[in-house]
Structure 1
């Protein structure tokens, strides 16, 4: 199959590019190895915001009187249902991307892509079947990957990554978040609000280090007030598993 444009990766960069290319009249295909929408929609920005929404609603219930509402006696939550809601939100939005692909007549090819010489792309699907495509233009929009620290190998049980943190079957009593970027702080905020004892460890002098120092100080003050322990200029050397 020949295309004017083949986009590899269906995250925010990839699917928007594919839609615009199709709107301009190019025969377009998009290749995705997992779920349409990429990491942000399925395993990052969107599901974490869904978790935070549940946490914020829970917090509102605990402080209903602060808003002129009647006191809610013993507000509680079902952790499994909170996680399920987050996954449902991500799934629904991924389905929305699929609709946009159909609407704009973009061919969706599921599988792992390998770019070959001569403007060729080989795609291996989940069953192991290999199919070759050609494109006048090939756009690589595969995004980024989380970095695993050499002294903290992830076992998916005690030392986990963002995917496991989004799908834990049970709420942990305590949690150490290594790194205080946007995603780390979102997880810290969510789990702390739901009752987990959270400690954030940051190697640099300030949390959310990519933000202005004034913003960092404000966020740190807010998190400490909420009960989160913050450790800056610190590193985790090893974990007793």
Structure 2
């Protein structure tokens, strides 16, 4: 099964399915494979599990040993033997882009504008004063095109939505990590920061006012200072 974002090197595991001892179903998607004698796990993350966790738990709980939960807002929704594990990024394949522009470029490319609270983010931008360019697009594109448009930014805003349908949300996703790997300063909500061990490389903004505060501070930096911020995000 191929992902809608057309990630590179996907769909290659099928030829190994008879040889493996461990099977991990990603993105809450069940695919047909012989599980006899194998240790089975499932990865739950994103809107699919957030919106359909009861149905997905009925499918996966009887067959898995553990459930890997991507973001802390999805903990406690009934997955079997759940463990919180933030996703990783291949920093060998995603290289930083530190290109200097005439103006600071701020980008926001939400997978779902409502869930990322793009309306509020755009309002913040409309009030912001300074020498910058804002690029916004809610258009769904392939992974490669997403990397291309994020690479042109200096600052990337992931999202700012503490709750969805009265349920806790406020967690950054893969786009935030990919932007960080590209060497962009990332601003995003992160309600689970208190559970995170170590220093977080993301500029945490759990409200529009905090987004505005971060942006004002970033726009006041010199070129050298902004570059150091970008390098620190990449190092994280």
TM superposition score category, shorter chain reference: under 0.3
Question: Larger relative CO (CA 8 A, sep 6+): 1 or 2?
Answer: 1
Query: TM-score, normalised on structure 1?
Result: 0.24
Query: TM-score, normalised on structure 2?
Result: 0.25
Structure ranking higher in helix proportion: 1
